């Protein structure tokens, strides 16, 4: 069957379960696609050479009549922040180049148990610090819609791979928007679950109070499919929620089949109605609100006064936690070790030389910021104050959800910007997460889905749905309904119209 790589994950699952295609056929289709286009994109840092063996094993079990999970044989791409025993895990950093972990992340174990086939590890900003995937130690990933533009970050590799049909679904991590912002820039769907809803065990930590693993897909239903695989309690993660989770895919499928927003109260945050958003983003967002209202939703203006301080608070909390988490990369226990030349060399000398050589500029910048914020005499003024702002933002959400069922915002202030355009302006780069950061500070779930293309540049625009904590299912119900309405309005989805990236503008070289 041709063009398998273009089919939604839910369709592939049906073909696999019915025996119309084999896991090997599906896996080969995606591996061939990666070989065809990834020279232009650099979405993958490592392609799993054992993927075909894993697919053959699934086919053997299916032929023998063994009962298999519904997702058995479905391929998945894996952000390189997740520990895998069968592939290197670098977190996009040279300091971990070639490192193969001795254990799997819990979500990795879960996709293995579900019979999914890992295609490889995807590129990312080093230690998930960035909004463009230009801070990777292994070169930038490029946006399939325009090879001269970024795919967003930090999870640009996963988003680009899914957008370019190199994988049907992918795993990402979201600390301040690292799943949702790349989804917006690449015309895909990205979800940050409720904090604690998906295990963080085996995820290379950036900021432990903010990090969350989630799915990337081309449709809301496909994202829900992967969410069901990875959700659930994990005793290895002390922040993991012990309560059982309802099926996200059932909710998404039901809503997609009969899309209705009748009686749904959708909040529009007045603080985000500013001139700081690209005109095309504002237009598509306004159209989405109008479409929702036309189909039964009630639009309510919401005041969230402390959202204005979210980016500032985030960029104190995140560097402080990152400074602590990255202290383990000391050249002594694992990873890169650089020994300076000269006479007597101390452990401190080796540590300094290793961190200088192994960390990129953005990581060094944030370590310095975080260490300063935690230092004696400044802790209360900076880190302590940021945590107080975080509490106020949580209060804003609590008041908002007393009035509405979900909030709707743009997923990013602009469409994909050009490679190199913001590299020398950290503040401009940080502002890309303006609308996504509040959800991480509050621990609530958020979903980005395509709203169409911006008129001025023809690039994807994303809108974000946010729901109260533990109400991830509501995200999928509203998200799937909105997606169905957009599909009906436009005669298809943005994710179906991505340009062919095979003929690379840069000659197809990584």
Catalytic residues: 79, 154, 178
- Residue 250 is given by DSSP the state H
**Contact between residue 100 and residue 88 where contact means Cβ atoms under 8 Å apart:** yes
DSSP 8-state assignment for residue 297? P
Angle between helices 9-18 and 220-230 (to 10 degrees): 70
CB of 411 within 8 A of CB of 435?
Answer: yes
Report the Cα–Cα distance between both ends of the chain, in Å, rounded. 30
Torsional sign, CA 245, 246, 252, 255 = negative
DSSP per-residue letters across 168-210: SEEEEE-SSSTTHHHHHHHT-EEEEPPTTSB--TTBPPS-TTT
**Residues 239-263 as b or e (16 or more Cβ within 10 Å = b):** bbbeeebebbbebbbebbeebebee
How many Å apart are CA 457 and CA 216, to the nearest integer? 24
Q: For 278, list phi and psi in degrees, rounded to 5.
A: -55, 140
Helices (H), 200-346: 220-230, 248-257, 279-294, 310-325
For residue 79, what are the β-bridge partners?
122
**Strand ranges of the sheet holding 75-79, from the earlier edge strand across to the other edge:** 44-47, 117-122, 75-79, 169-173, 213-217, 189-192, 446-453, 460-466, 406-410, 265-269, 298-302
CA distance 323 to 283: 40
**H or E element at residue 121:** strand 117-122
Q: Which residue has the tokens 């998930």?
A: 128
Q: How far is CA 310 from CA 268, 430, 435, 477, in A?
A: 17, 11, 9, 27
Helix (H) or strand (E) holding 75: strand 75-79
């Amino acid at each position: 069957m041709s063009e398998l790589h273009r089919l939604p994950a839910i369709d592939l699952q049906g073909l696999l379960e019915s025996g119309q295609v084999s896991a090997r056929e599906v896996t080969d289709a995606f591996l061939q696609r990666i070989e065809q286009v990834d020279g232009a994109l650099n979405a993958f840092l490592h392609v799993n050479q054992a993927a075909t063996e894993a697919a053959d094993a699934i086919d053997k079990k299916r032929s023998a009549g063994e009962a298999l999970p519904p997702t058995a044989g479905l391929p998945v791409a894996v952000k390189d922040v997740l520990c895998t025993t069968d592939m290197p895990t670098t977190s996009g950093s040279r300091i971990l180049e070639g490192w193969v972990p001795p254990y799997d992340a819990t979500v990795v174990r879960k996709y293995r148990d579900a019979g999914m086939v890992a295609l490889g590890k995807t590129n990312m900003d080093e230690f998930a610090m960035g909004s463009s995937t230009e801070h990777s130690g292994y070169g930038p990933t490029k946006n399939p819609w325009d090879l001269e533009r970024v795919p967003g970050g930090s999870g640009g590799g996963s988003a680009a791979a899914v957008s370019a049909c190199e994988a049907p679904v992918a795993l990402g991590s979201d600390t301040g928007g690292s799943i949702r912002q790349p989804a917006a820039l690449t015309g895909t769907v990205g979800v940050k679950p409720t904090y604690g809803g998906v295990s963080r065990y085996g995820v290379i930590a950036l900021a432990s109070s903010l990090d969350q693993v989630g799915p990337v897909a081309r449709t809301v239903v496909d994202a829900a499919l992967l969410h069901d695989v990875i959700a659930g309690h994990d005793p290895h993660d002390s922040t993991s929620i012990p309560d059982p989770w309802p099926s996200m895919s059932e909710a998404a499928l039901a809503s997609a089949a009969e899309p209705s927003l009748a009686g749904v109260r959708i909040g529009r945050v007045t603080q985000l109605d500013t001139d700081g958003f690209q005109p095309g983003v504002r237009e598509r967002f306004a159209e989405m609100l109008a479409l929702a209202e036309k189909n039964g939703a009630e639009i309510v203006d919401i005041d969230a006064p402390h959202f204005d301080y979210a980016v500032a608070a985030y960029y104190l909390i995140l560097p402080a936690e990152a400074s602590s988490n990255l202290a383990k990369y000391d050249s002594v226990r694992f990873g890169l070790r650089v020994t300076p030349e000269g006479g007597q060399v101390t452990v401190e000398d080796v540590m300094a030389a290793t961190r200088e050589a192994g960390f990129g500029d953005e990581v060094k910048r944030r370590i310095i910021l975080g260490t300063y914020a935690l230092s004696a005499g400044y802790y209360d003024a900076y880190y302590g104050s940021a945590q107080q702002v975080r509490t106020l933002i949580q209060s804003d959400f609590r008041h908002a959800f007393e009035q509405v069922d979900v909030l709707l915002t743009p997923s990013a202030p602009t469409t994909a910007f050009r490679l190199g355009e913001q590299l020398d302006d950290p503040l401009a780069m940080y502002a890309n997460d303006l609308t996504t950061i509040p959800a991480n500070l509050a621990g609530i779930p958020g979903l980005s889905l395509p709203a169409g293309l911006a008129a001025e540049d023809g690039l994807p625009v994303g809108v974000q749905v946010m729901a109260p904590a533990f109400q991830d299912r509501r995200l999928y119900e509203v998200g799937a309904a909105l997606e169905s309405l957009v599909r009906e309005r436009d005669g298809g989805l943005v994710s179906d119209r991505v340009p062919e990236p095979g003929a690379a503008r840069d000659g197809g070289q990584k």
